[in-house]
Amino acid sequence: MVRIISVCFCLIVCVIPTLGQLRSAPIQHVERGASTEASTKRTRIGAVGLPFFDDFSLSKNGRASPELWLTTGGTFVNNTLPLNHPTLNVVTFDGLNANGVPYSFADENREGPGDTLTSQPINLVGLTPKDSLYLSFYWQARGLGELPDANDSLQLQFKNRANQWRTVWVKRGGLADNNFKQELIALRDEAFFGGSFQFRFQQFGRESGMFDTWHIDYVYLNANRTARDRATKDLAVRQPVSSFLKRYSAMPLAQYLVSPRTETADTLTTELNSLFNQTRRPTFFFTVKDAQTNKNFQASLESGFIQVFSFSSFLTKIRIQPLPDEVKNLKKLTLVSTFAFNTTDEQDPPIRGVDLTRNDTISGRTVFDDYYAYDDGSAELAAFNVKPLSKTAVQFILNKPDTVSGVRLNIVPIRKNLVNQPMTLQVWNSERGKPKSLLYQKSFRVSYPADPRQGFVDFKFDFGVAVKDTFYVGWLQIGNDPLPVGLDKNTRSEDKIFTNEGQEWVSQAARRSDPNYLSVSGSLLIRPVLGSAPAPKILANEPTIASPQLVVFPNPTSGVVRWNSDNIQQIELLNLSGQLLQTHRIEALQNELELGKLPAGLYLLRLWDGQRSKIQKIVIQR
């Protein structure tokens, strides 16, 4: 792990003085409180019988089924982090516990045991090695997470009658592979047989966050199997259903209704995967429904046969229509798009007692509310700009004028706890497809969502920002601690992400052709909130503070400034070219501010009282 740790440290810390590139990094989280689950808690009494099977398609709330697995261990069930997985949902292992907290946040470089997935006790009484018991599963390193290094590992351990864990399989990291691989492990030792056999998967690697990622799927233990027992008569959905919208994953309903045909995607897609060694010909149903009323907006009769070849996948597409006029009476709407396949997996089931139609249906949601989004709501990595005073912006395009009342943001805890650190959110208008003039900005204190993987924090503006057509929201990088924003790797909108490390805005898509620049791919978890906000709207020409008594002193100053008004809400520091250097939110009754270690010279201070501003020159001496 030494090589990767040193590289990551160099990217985050060493390049700060010279580079201003938008970076991505694995996610790690800070302590938010102790786990509510006792470490020894189990949810059943008595042992599980054979067959033991779980493809995790029935798991809820990101946790593996407590009927089959211990409720501790820190793993995360999801359908967004893997690539080319066997079935809907996998279990992901990393350096975070069940609450999204690093196992060792105090030491960024500490290595050791991370997530563990442990089975409930399994009853093997009456069975012996002659009954040919095999445990099979599929595994993948990295997926859309971070690649484990050569010294990291995923291990499988069996528990014997003496309550000792024995390692029976080890997979080392270091090599990326976008496909899942299947393993079959035989139970050959008499010491594993009895009334309370258990097995567990355990990840070993960096303990300070979402590093060294592994995925497990389709775990199956049974008797009378062989080492060649790799095929299962199972057709399963796996790929998340694509967005109903062409450009976004979510948008305001009023904006959609201006141009429904333009905003509606041509098709919706998902993927069906075969785990069998014969060609299958399933049919499927498709519906688009209102999540609240269950009303059908679109439904298909059972389609004609599709053909899925052995051990291969099939991308299923269906054409869709814009929403009907009747939705004009709604303020918001959540669409549920569902593919339900008729696979006949229930006929002559290959695993006795297991209904494999459990993984034949998949749904996706598209939200029409008060915000725009490109992301699918999940953060696989974090993106940040390491250069102080650099700017990052994301483009959004309106169908009619509106106001921006705030920003919904997924800030990722990584490297260090940034809670209460200052940050500045900004809104720009557009010229020739790039950000131009700053329309509004506001300073906030950093806070993290309750669910860092899929949650957001609302940062509300004081006033509605008037926007006409194309606009941008983003942030100004203040100081040397980068603001890490969630990065969704399942959607692609890097052509809408712009960075500015000096005077020029450049899109991340354009950076891909530059060998000296590390661009990011994916979508940032930043969502402008549209609609009502306290008046007045921010206009291009702001009235100045009328009071002639406002004084800023001392001038010159060594860095500390004071003022004689209790009404100041925000202070901005600019250079003589008008470039914004700092933004400070002023608390009630605050009359003093430390501007930091700036080079000596002449600067501009812009003082804002909520309605008016005043600009004053100030000299900093060292």
Instruction: Return d(Cα 85, Cα 217) in angstroms, integer.
Output: 8
Task: Mark out the alpha helices in 257-312 (DSSP H runs).
Answer: 260-263
User: Tokens representing 454?
Assistant: 């899929």
pLDDT above 90 for 550: no
Q: What is the pLDDT of residue 217?
A: 98
Comparing C-alpha atoms, which of 606, 542, 532 is closest to residue 569?
A: 606
**Band of residue 300 on the pLDDT scale cut at 50, 70, 90:** confident
Instruction: Return d(Cα 291, Cα 293) in angstroms, integer.
Output: 6
Buried residues in 544-571 as b, exposed as e (16+ CB within 10 A): ebeeeebebeeeebeeebebebebbbbb
**Band of residue 582 on the pLDDT scale cut at 50, 70, 90:** confident
Comparing C-alpha atoms, which of 115, 109, 110, 154 is closest to residue 8?
A: 109
Kindly give the pairing relationship between strand 198-206 and strand 111-118.
antiparallel
Average pLDDT over residues 28-33: 35
pLDDT above 90 for 313: yes
User: Tokens representing 353?
Assistant: 């007692």
Q: Burial, 464: exposed, middle or buried (Cβ in 10 Å; 0-12, 13-18, 19+)? A: buried
Average pLDDT over residues 79-106: 88
Average pLDDT over residues 335-355: 94
pLDDT above 80 for 89: yes
Q: What is the pLDDT of residue 12?
A: 29
Q: What is the pLDDT of residue 520?
A: 81
Q: What is the pLDDT of residue 211?
A: 86
Q: What is the pLDDT of residue 18?
A: 28
Comparing C-alpha atoms, which of 128, 126, 189, 181 is closest to residue 157?
A: 189
Task: Mark out the alpha helices in 558-608 (DSSP H runs).
Answer: none
Whole-angstrom CA distances from 592 to 264, 568, 621 are 52, 11, 18
Q: What is the pLDDT of residue 142?
A: 95
Task: Lowest mean pLDDT of 162-176, 360-374, 468-482, 516-530, name the range.
Answer: 516-530
How many alpha carbons fall within 13 Å on the CB side of residue 279? 5
Could you tell me which residue, 176 or 127, shows the higher pLDDT? 127
Instruction: Return d(Cα 441, Cα 608) in angstroms, integer.
Output: 11
Task: Lowest mean pLDDT of 36-40, 75-79, 565-569, name the range.
Answer: 36-40
Instruction: Return d(Cα 440, Cα 404) in angstroms, integer.
Output: 10
Instruction: Return d(Cα 387, Cα 383) in angstroms, integer.
Output: 13
pLDDT above 70 for 351: yes
- Please list, in sequence order, all residues whose beta carbon lies within 8 angstroms of the beta carbon of residue 292, skipping any fewer than 6 positions away: 333, 334
Spacing of C-alpha 337 from chain mean position: 21
Comparing C-alpha atoms, which of 503, 279, 526, 514 is closest to residue 391?
A: 503
User: Tokens representing 302?
Assistant: 């059972």
Could you tell me which residue, 613 or 529, shows the higher pLDDT? 529
Where residue 72 falls (left for φ over 0; alpha for ψ -120 to 50; beta otherwise) is beta
**Cβ(480)–Cβ(392) under 8 Å?**
no
Share of the chain above pLDDT 90, in %: 61
Instruction: Return d(Cα 239, Cα 89) in angstroms, integer.
Output: 9
**Band of residue 27 on the pLDDT scale cut at 50, 70, 90:** low
Q: What is the pLDDT of residue 22?
A: 73
Q: What is the pLDDT of residue 298?
A: 92
Task: Lowest mean pLDDT of 85-94, 273-282, 541-550, 600-609, name the range.
Answer: 541-550
pLDDT above 60 for 36: no
- Please list, in sequence order, all residues whose beta carbon lies within 8 angstroms of the beta carbon of residue 456, skipping any fewer than 6 positions away: 408, 409, 410, 449, 525, 527
Instruction: Give DSSP secondary structure letters for 478-492.
Output: -SSS---EEEESSS-
Q: What is the pLDDT of residue 304?
A: 66
Buried residues in 203-228 as b, exposed as e (16+ CB within 10 A): bbbbbbbbbbbbbbbbbbbbeebeee
Q: What is the pLDDT of residue 514?
A: 61
Average pLDDT over residues 219-245: 96
Could you tell me which residue, 295 or 548, shows the higher pLDDT? 295
Task: For 410-451, list the strands marked E by DSSP.
Answer: 422-431, 434-445
Beta bridge partners of 506: 499
Q: Which amino acid is at 132?
A: S
Beta bridge partners of 396: 471
What tens digit of pLDDT does each residue of 114-150 get?
A: 999 999 999 999 999 999 999 999 999 999 998 999 9
Give the chain's domains with CATH numbers: 39-230 (2.60.120.260), 236-369 (2.60.40.1710), 387-530 (2.60.120), 552-620 (2.60.40.3080)
pLDDT above 80 for 381: yes
Comparing C-alpha atoms, which of 337, 367, 322, 154 is closest to residue 239?
A: 337
SS3 9: helix
Instruction: Return d(Cα 298, Cα 244) in angstroms, integer.
Output: 12
Q: What is the pLDDT of residue 553?
A: 85
The model carries a pTM of 0.79
The pLDDT mean for the chain works out to: 86
Where residue 570 falls (left for φ over 0; alpha for ψ -120 to 50; beta otherwise) is beta
| Peptide linkage before 536 cis (omega within 30 of 0) | yes
Task: For 446-519, list the strands marked E by DSSP.
Answer: 457-467, 470-476, 485-488, 497-500, 505-507
Q: What is the pLDDT of residue 459?
A: 96
pLDDT above 50 for 3: no
Q: What is the pLDDT of residue 25?
A: 67
pLDDT above 80 for 173: yes
Instruction: Return d(Cα 507, Cα 499) in angstroms, integer.
Output: 6
Whole-angstrom CA distances from 255 to 251, 252, 267, 597 are 7, 5, 20, 45
**Cβ(565)–Cβ(510) under 8 Å?**
no
Average pLDDT over residues 195-220: 93
Share of the chain above pLDDT 70, in %: 87
Host H or E run for residue 254: helix 253-256
**Cβ(67)–Cβ(128) under 8 Å?**
no
